[in-house]
Chains A and B, each alone.
Chain A
Amino acid sequence: MLFIAYVFALLTIAFWLILPLVWLNNPNTVSSSVLGPLVYASGWFLLIPAAFSLAAMVHTNRLRRALRNKEIGALRELNSLAWGILSFFLANPITGALLIIARRPLAQVTASESSGIAEDRILVVDHLIKFFPVRRSFSQVMRGGQTAVVHAIDDISFEIRRGEVAGLAGESGSGKTTVLRVALGLLPLTSGHVYFNGKDIAKMTKKELKRVRTKMQVVFQDPYESVNPRMTVYDIVSEGLFVNNMVSSRAEATEMVEKALRDVQLTPPSEYLHRHPHELSGGQRQRVAIARALVLGPDLILADEPVSMLDVSVRAEVMNVLLAVRQKQGISVVMVTHDLALSKDAVDELAIMYLGKIVEQGPAQEVVASPYHPYTQALVAAVPVPDPTGRRIQILAKGEIPTNIAPPPACRFHPRCPLAKPICSQTEPLMVEVTPGRQVACHFWKEANEWFTKSFQGTPANGG
């Protein structure tokens, strides 16, 4: 169908190109008035775009079908091509109107039903999928076939309550940092929904999104790279206030900056306002980054490994500041981390991610003390304890993390799992609530948990 549409469009162009040549050879068939050339000229703006709009409509139909059938692999390609064509003649009023009519069904596909989100859920991620197309070389494009896709996030769902500190733990390739980026709206999602304060961020206008971003702030991993070395602390923290027109004078800004600095224990604030980042230690810099996030009065702070680049003796300082704002101001925190021991002490709810999926979720202390999923168990077993007489680290998962371009079928962990059975490579385990508050995606979570608590030394369950 697409092929026919393009052939038609090309034939129309060819026809319209040849037409003047025919006229020139037969001058008396067309009047020399201005009407003739006018009609001809308008043909370029009507006929050709109309022909292309046919192609575009076929594209959007394909798009709709792909979305419905979740043929997500080809999605990005189709999408960009369709929009390229559509924009070509949105400049033309007639065909533009045709397209708006054609576009509305497209909008319906991505629109969702009214979000019945509970009031106390600040962030709800619902069946989120985010794929990145893998760049293809020229020869690969010529050979055709489907574009390979990085399955960065493959159908995850979780909810963050107000005032909660949630942790997203996982190793590299788990997709945890991508989750933060998609939640912030920095990356478009492939499918699924992200609701912030009950509203779907994919449906927000640019203006709404800008306003929402003041309520959703980020703290980055590297305190040496996330603060501008040429700005003073005052500049760094107040920048957001000015960009978002939240203050009308320097005096007002200074007041808010000082309050934020006090909240992060950089006191007296006046001592820090005029310092540059190189005059601060790593821990102080990270606290400035937190102040920068706090000053805008957010409801949610997304922190990407906020302390992993700091010295251990300084980590608690920064973590405690982050946790204190939760206490005082009811701000929720979502923290991405790879440090399970820290998660256990700092976080309320913990979700463990592996290759784009959440494998286990629950209260942090329980998940770490008595893990249900074999991958969580492998993570816990690999964490060294600061005690030479304590348990030795064990490697419970063989091999390395596979690529997330072609992840293992069904349960992603089955090639490395010590408890894998045939069903694990055939049927994907769904995330189920196995005990109140604890969810896990594993066929044999019960056996895994029993085996772990019995035979693995050093969990609080058997006396460490």
Chain B
Amino acid sequence: MALLKVEDLRMYYNTTAGEVKAVDGINFELNEKEVLGIVGESGCGKSSLASTLIRLLPTNARIASGKIVLEGKDLVTMPDAEIRRTVRWTKISVVPQGAMNSLNPVFRVGDQIAESITSHIGMEASEAKARTRELLTLVGIDPSRARHYPHEFSGGMKQRAMIAMALSLSPKILIADEPTTALDVIVQAGIVELLLGIRRDLGLAIVLISHDLALVAQMSDTVAVMYAGKIVEQGESKRVYLTPFHPYTAGLRRAFADIRKPKQPLVSIPGFPPDLIEPPPGCRFTARCPYAKEICRAEDPALVEAEPGHLVACHFWKEIRAGGEST
């Protein structure tokens, strides 16, 4: 049975320019110990999705419809107090984007981690301290460094501290939003190793949100490709990468340089994402799609099962069969 089930989730921001449909009809399931990668570029709604899942939305945002079912309970309709007590940080936690920069510079790192524990559950300060040391060891930081300030930590260590903070109440699901952006490549490898190790040792399920296709390929079991607020392709990682059916997925894969291959010409996807206030009526990728036809402009394709467990939202996935190792 799925640990987390998201059904037709829609989240909109109310802005002076209009209503931004940031998350517009997302469906997916997350099982125990599964790593789900959500891949997409800036503005596709993936970070909005992360904050919606944990019900941490700004005042001008609202969940327009849909369900987030965790252990049989719907988080969308749950009162905020209950979520704060029983769900947030205890069942699901988030390492937000740029988390390492949100450590308070005037407090010691250890105190900040302990604070995340004591503010959610009533734990004795000394107990919280011990737990903090445990957590720091878990993420590969010498526990004696709990008394250091954030500026004494390197970027990679700050990120590890944030992961420790997220794990402090032993959640079942960890949502990591761009956990390695702005980190050096070797430090990034360390964070990847850490997250995979945590999944293995603690039995966590991880939702990995990133624009880095290669990173998601390394870490995830299943992947969902987001574009303009919708999922355009999802399925088992191996299948989606080996035979992408959606032109966007194929284009994205081609745009990523592969360090193993000899010199290749650089390819990009022309154009840019559509306006999310007045999204086009049909398929949102039409303007940039090399295979677009009239029906694409008119009708928004639904997700269909192209092969078992592999869904795609494209009218012409059969004809295109954009995939394989060729660029």
Contact = CB atoms under 8 A, between A and B. Distances in A.
Interface in A310-363: 311-317, 319-320, 323, 338-342, 344-346
B320 interface: no
Contact of A385 (B192, B193, B260): B260
Nearest to A348: B263
B157 to A, nearest CB: 8
Contacts of B272: 281, 283, 314
Nearest to B157: A400
Contact of B255 (A171, A316, A381, A390): A316
A172 B157 CA distance: 14
B218 interface: yes
Nearest to A392: B218
Contacts of A369: 262
Given A385-B214, A400-B154, A458 B260 contact: yes
Contacts of B237: 388
A342 B268 contact: no
Interface in A383-417: 383-395, 397, 400-401
B183 to A, nearest CB: 9
Contact of A393 (B211, B218, B242, B269): B218
Interface string B143-163: 000000000001111000000
Contacts, number: 137
B232 to A, nearest CB: 13
Contact of A384 (B187, B215, B263, B270): B215
B184 A171 contact: yes
Contacts of A390: 217, 260
Interface residues of B, number: 47
B189 interface: yes
A390 to B, nearest CB: 7
A300 interface: no
A282 B41 CA distance: 12
Given A172-B184, A388-B237, A400-B187, A313 B260 contact: no
Contacts of B215: 384
B258 A341 contact: yes
Nearest to B259: A341
A381 B188 CA distance: 12
A380 B258 CA distance: 11
Given A341-B258, A389-B242, A316 B217 contact: no
Nearest to B44: A311
Interface in B245-260: 251-253, 255-260
Q: Which of B154, B259, B265 has the most CB of A within 10 A?
A: B259
Nearest to A314: B268
A11 to B, nearest CB: 47
Interface string A364-384: 110011000000001111111
Interface string A162-182: 000000000110000000000
B261 interface: yes
Contacts of A400: 154, 156-157, 187
Nearest to B257: A341
Contacts of A365: 262-263
A345 B257 contact: yes
17 contacts: A171-B187, A172-B184, A312-B255, A317-B268, A341-B258, A345-B257, A369-B262, A384-B212, A385-B214, A385-B217, A385-B218, A385-B258, A385-B259, A386-B217, A386-B253, A393-B189, A464-B261
Interface of A: 171-172, 281-283, 311-317, 319-320, 323, 338-342, 344-346, 364-365, 368-369, 378-395, 397, 400-401, 458-460, 464
Given A171-B186, A339-B257, 15 more contacts: A312-B212, A313-B252, A316-B267, A341-B214, A342-B257, A346-B266, A365-B263, A381-B189, A382-B188, A385-B218, A387-B217, A388-B237, A392-B218, A393-B218, A400-B187
- In the A-B complex, list the 3 residue pairs whose CB atoms are closest, starting with the nearest: A316-B268, A316-B266, A341-B257
